[in-house]
Amino acid sequence: MNVKKFRVLLAESAPEEAEASLRAIYPPPDSKLELTVVSTIPTLLATIDLAAPETIFLDLSLCGADPMDTVRRVHRAAPGIPLIVIADTNQKDFATRSITEGAIDYLLKGFMDPRTLERVLRAALERNTLEGLADLLRDQPTGLYNREGFVTLGARSMDTATRSGGTLVILCALVENYPEIHAGSGSIGCEQAVRETADLLAGCFRRNDYVARLGDAQFAALAIDAAEPSANILRQRVASRLAVQNHSRQPWGPLQLRLSVGYWGANDNRTFPEFLDAVELELRQPEAVLSIAAPQQANTVASR
């Protein structure tokens, strides 16, 4: 059975720091990396169609007197492929400017350890996924990920965390009074509640975290590299912002969110779907377990 490999096209001068880091992330003999390495810009441009890369790395030291012109040429040759720039520290200004010319990120030589490279690759892989499967992975009313997208990106994040020793925190949220909102305000009230919940959760997490709508009234967020104590901090942040929001929520009335939080470390043997299932299970425990009066005794809280 052929295993799909991650195809990368790398244009790099010596020393081959990016190549070494990529091979460290995807070590042999069962590497999931298909790496094509070139050493000139003409060869890079001629190889794009042949290699069909999912990500391109471009070393600015190969780009001559006008690096930005080369960045533009590579981006025009493959506008749908994430482009990551590599630069010497004395080229940092060019590297920063490359973002406006089509690159999605840059790496500085001497600071290209596997953990940093994995962060950049995660952004490239996410962009590939969203570009190719945007309608399948997004919830159209909110713009958040849907369940399939959340599980796809969560599993990929867990693979990365397993290799790097990272950690994950999932927060699940349920609009507990969704049936009452529907009965009192109909679909318009429900749509308003969903939008407000989506905005509230998105505002509580970082740009590199993932927020999703898993069902009509259920949401989830995945915090990347979040330490275990941050689980309670995130829960408290959501509850606090909800309280502020509910003060001005007229004429719809207050939202009632039930929250559950789970932590995953590198020694945890659960798959991402199993991790998500466990947090969702806690979300559906009896009301007594979800009491705000005893947050230390339970991993869940009902915020009203």
The last residue of one of the domains, among 84, 105, 131, is 131
| Dihedral angle sign, alpha carbons of residues 259, 260, 266, 269 | negative
Alpha helices in the chain (DSSP H): 17-25, 41-51, 67-77, 92-98, 114-137, 147-164, 178-204, 230-247, 272-283
Residues 172-178, mean pLDDT to the nearest whole number: 93
Residues 58 and 118 reside in one and the same domain:
yes
The last residue of one of the domains, among 77, 112, 131, is 131
Which pLDDT belongs to residue 206?
87
Residues 160 and 266 reside in one and the same domain:
yes
Number of compact structural domains in the chain: 2
CB 274 within 8 A of CB 262: no
The three-point CA angle 293-206-105 to 5° equals 165
Give per-residue pLDDT as tens, 53-79.
989 999 999 998 899 999 999 999 988
Residues 61 and 153 reside in one and the same domain:
no
Residues with Cβ within 8 Å of residue 205, at least 6 apart in sequence: 211, 221, 223, 234
Give per-residue pLDDT as tens, 198-246.
999 999 998 778 999 999 999 999 999 888 788 889 989 999 999 998 8
Residues 229 and 265 reside in one and the same domain:
yes
The last residue of one of the domains, among 77, 98, 131, is 131
Which pLDDT belongs to residue 268?
92
Tokens at 195, concatenated: 């939008």
Which pLDDT belongs to residue 295?
34
Residues 149 and 292 reside in one and the same domain:
yes
Tell me how far apart the alpha carbons of residues 97 and 171 are, in angstroms, rounded to a whole number: 36
The answer as to whether 103 is a domain residue is: yes
Average pLDDT of the chain, as a whole number = 84
Residues 106 and 146 reside in one and the same domain:
no
Which pLDDT belongs to residue 138?
80
Residues 163 and 247 reside in one and the same domain:
yes
DSSP letter, residue 102: T
Pairing of strands 218-224, 168-175: antiparallel
Query: Which range of residues forms the domain containing residue 188?
Result: 139-303
* pLDDT cut 90: percent of the chain above it: 49
The answer as to whether 1 is a domain residue is: no
CB 18 within 8 A of CB 27: no
Residues 244-260, mean pLDDT to the nearest whole number: 86
Q: Which pTM does this prediction carry?
A: 0.56
Which pLDDT belongs to residue 298?
34
The answer as to whether 109 is a domain residue is: yes
